Structure formats: structure tokens, C-alpha cells
Amino acid sequence: MRLHRASRPLILVTSDDGIQSPGLRAAVTAALDLGEVLISAPGGQQTSAGRGQPPSFDGAIHEVEYVVDGRQVPAYALYGSPAQAVLYALMEIVPRRPALCISGINFGENVGSGITVSGTVGAALEAADHGVPSLAVSLETDKAYHYSYSDDVDFSGAAHFTRLFGERMLARSMPPDVDVLKVEVPSDARPNTPWRITRVSRQRYYRALSSGRRSLMEKRQLDYETAFDRATLEPDSDIHALRIDRVVAVSPVSLDMTSRVALEQVEVLLK
């Protein structure tokens, strides 16, 4: 089921919020004039799926009618994880390797040490692991919208930066160890909002809360809240840029998760 179209740059767009997400539609709209867009996304909400490849996915690929600004866009829904939507697209849908993968625009920011939980980042890492330069874009939103398809959220600012960094990634090669650009957009961002290169904070940003269960057999999920320690927050981090300085945080992310220490030092400690 491989598609055959003109040889403009191919852009694969996905979202862990699912095929019907307004954030995905905003990303597609932002990418339409940059190349040939193809969508492959989960059929439903897959927030916090990370880069998981759950074996429960049945492997079926569903073609979806998808029209943006009067233009038909090839779109496919898979009832699996965001990473599976990317993997199956790369293996069985796309006519050639995409020049870029855009994952997002996510309902809710993905910052700090918990980004490996993010389905938005996980999908981008899956594409990057197949040699596709990837952009993971998230918009700061109220917690109430993290699992929502609400049209109340304004994605125009985030769409501007999706197009901006998408265009630059298509025009320029990133350094060898930059596999994903993770872009975090403040909720009040406008096209003239500054952006800054940041590192991923070592602080946890989403803090788990007890469910308040009275019995272990109760079916109650943990709640969560956003929280960080401003006194010890790294000034060059994604959390600091987004939450304190209110600028767009752009973090280069690597597939290489090796600790940044002298390996010989660890070897000596373990001998």
C-alpha cells in the first residue's frame, strides 16, 4: 500500500493525541506549503505512550478522509501507539524516506526529566531512529486539555513555530548528535515571541499524586500536577525558558542516552 506522488520533500505528521486532534490539524496546516504531507497517527488518544510498541496493536491500517484548507491530505489511523503509527508508516505506507517528521502539536508541554513518557517525543524518536530528522512540538496548556480534543485552545502561535523550525530543518542538516528538535511553546506565544536553545531539565515537571484510594482493589488512577523547584532550576533549561522567561524552548535531543561522563571513570568505580 505504498503511495506514489510528486517528489517534493515528504513530511510525515503524527500526534499522540490522535488523528482527530486539532493540534495535529494545526501541524498539518503549518506544513502544507513546505512539502508533500502524509499523516499517520493513532486512532485515539495515546498521551504518555512514550516510545512504546504494545503487542496488543492488531496491525490494521485505516485510511481516513482528511481535508485541510480544501486540500486532500493522505491520512492513516492505527489503533496503536504514536511510535507504531510512525513505524508502520515508514515500513508500509510512505513511497520514500520522509525528509522530516513532525510530531504534534501536543496538548500540553513536554519538559524536564519525564520527556521519555511523552508520546509526542516517543514518535519523533522512532522516526529519528530510522534516519528521519524529527521535530516534536508541544503547546503549554491547562491540565484540563491534556486528554481533550477541545477547539478552545489557540494553536496559531505553536503553528507558526512548527512551520519556522520545520522549514529550517528541511533547509539545513542538524549536527550528527541532534536527532530530534523538541519545541515547547508558551500558551501566550505569538509569532514575535523569542525562542532559545535549551537543555532538558533534570527536574521532574509532572509530579504524581496519590489517588486517595481506600483499598488496593479500588480502580483508581494516580493524579498529577505540574511542579518545579525554582531555586534549583537550571537557568538554561526548557522548564526555565517556558515557565519563567515565557520564551519558546528549543532543545536538541539525542538518541544516545549514554551518561555524559568519562567512561573510564565509571569503569574504575566498578572494578
Q: Which whole-number Å values give the CA distances from 47 to 21, 42, 65, 149, in the listed order? A: 12, 10, 23, 12
User: What percentage of the chain has pLDDT greater than the value 70?
Assistant: 98
For residue 118, the model assigns a pLDDT of 97
pTM for the whole structure: 0.94
Q: For residue 258, what are the contacts with CB-CB under 8 A and spacing of at least 6?
A: none
Q: What's the grid cell of residue 51?
A: 516510545
For residue 204, the model assigns a pLDDT of 97
Q: For residue 245, what are the contacts with CB-CB under 8 A and spacing of at least 6?
A: 196
User: What distance in Å separates the CA atoms of residue 192 and residue 194, rounded to the nearest whole number?
Assistant: 6
User: What percentage of the chain has pLDDT greater than the value 90?
Assistant: 96
Residue 3 has pLDDT above 70, yes or no: no
pLDDT digits (tens, 9 = 90+) for 80-99: 999 999 999 999 999 999 99
The type of residue at 155 is: F
User: What distance in Å separates the CA atoms of residue 128 and residue 255, rounded to the nearest whole number?
Assistant: 8
Supply the DSSP symbol for 199. Answer: B
- 207's enclosing H/E stretch is strand 206-209
Q: Which CATH class is domain 10-203+233-270?
A: alpha beta
How many residues appear in the chain?
A: 271
pLDDT digits (tens, 9 = 90+) for 215-264: 999 999 999 999 999 999 999 999 999 999 999 999 999 999 999 999 99
The type of residue at 265 is: Q
Domain ranges (residues) in the chain: 10-203+233-270
> Is the pLDDT higher at 144 or at 3?
144
pLDDT digits (tens, 9 = 90+) for 18-41: 999 999 999 999 999 999 999 999
| Residue 43, phi then psi, degrees to nearest 5 | -70, -20
